[in-house]
Amino acid sequence: MPESRTRRRGQDLLDAVYAAALDEAAASGPGRLTMDAIAKRAATARTTLYRRWSDPLDLLLDALAAHHPVEQPTPGADDLRGDLIASLRLMVDWGFSPAGRAVMALLADPARDPAVVTALFERVFDRRGGTFTQTVLRHYADRGAIDPARLTPVVLDIGEAMVAKRIMDTGTDPGDDYLAAVVDQAILPAAGVPHRDT
């Protein structure tokens, strides 16, 4: 007999619903997210969803929050450039995940609800300590390789900004060449690290 006789409950069901919500958001865009579609994709009844969430956005926020925290950059011993590139690679990978795409679309929505954005930052972003390149830059500043005074909010955000815009513009994976160019031509000069000609 098929598992159709099995009935999911609790965490199992939650996981299935969250996965369905993220997939659906990635496929249709958060703006067109619908209880109906999530229910169908999760193979559950719409009524089950309404018992827990009031609308698709509420559900999506829970799904994003429940998503395991993103992998953190782990700066090595003495390779600032390489660690920066690696941290941008982590960001790219996240940006192409269903969760990443959903977040981008949520932030770019002209009709976005400020409360939703607040919830997004509190529940998803602030849980992570800092951004991708920020972790690396602070690490090397602590070790004296970078002048801490140069690490302003603007400088700490250069890598993330450039990668985000690149993803939005082309919709494709930037590739390591581009990430290296961002590090060499934008981040390192701004951080005051002398450019190393190869």
**Smallest distance from the beta carbon of 193 to a copy of itself, in angstroms?**
10
Q: State both tokens at 160.
A: 């993330």
Q: Which amino acid is at 170?
A: T
Using the minimum distance from each CB to DNA, give the nearer residue, 56 or 73.
56
66 lines the binding site for DNA (CB under 7 A): no
Q: State both tokens at 69.
A: 């925290």
**Smallest distance from the beta carbon of 162 to a copy of itself, in angstroms?**
5
Round the CA-based radius of gyration of the chain to a whole number and report it.
Answer: 20
- The residue among 172, 179, 168, 95 whose CA lies nearest residue 131 is 95
34 lines the binding site for DNA (CB under 7 A): yes
3-state secondary structure of 151: coil
* Residue whose token pair is 């004296």: 144
**Smallest distance from the beta carbon of 31 to DNA, in angstroms?**
12
Q: Which amino acid is at 196?
A: R
Using the minimum distance from each CB to a copy of itself, give the nearer residue, 13 or 23.
23
Which one of 6, 68, 171, 197 is in contact with DNA (CB under 7 A)?
Answer: 6
Binding site for a copy of itself (CB under 8 A): 25-32, 98, 101-102, 104-105, 107-112, 114, 117, 150, 152, 154-155, 157-158, 160-162, 164-166, 168-169, 171, 178, 181-182, 185-186, 189-190, 192
Alpha carbons 3 and 12: distance in angstroms, whole number: 14
Q: CB within 8 A of 84, min separation 6: which ones?
A: 133, 136, 137, 159, 183, 187, 188
**Smallest distance from the beta carbon of 57 to a copy of itself, in angstroms?**
12
Using the minimum distance from each CB to DNA, give the nearer residue, 4 or 172.
4
Site size toward DNA (CB under 7 A) is 23
* Residue whose token pair is 């390591």: 176
| Binding piece for DNA, criterion CB under 7 A, among 28-36, 93-101, 109-117, 138-146 | 28-36
Do 81 and 184 meet the contact criterion of CB atoms below 8 Å apart?
yes
Binding residues (CB under 7 A) for DNA: these are 4-10, 13, 34-37, 43-48, 50-52, 55-56
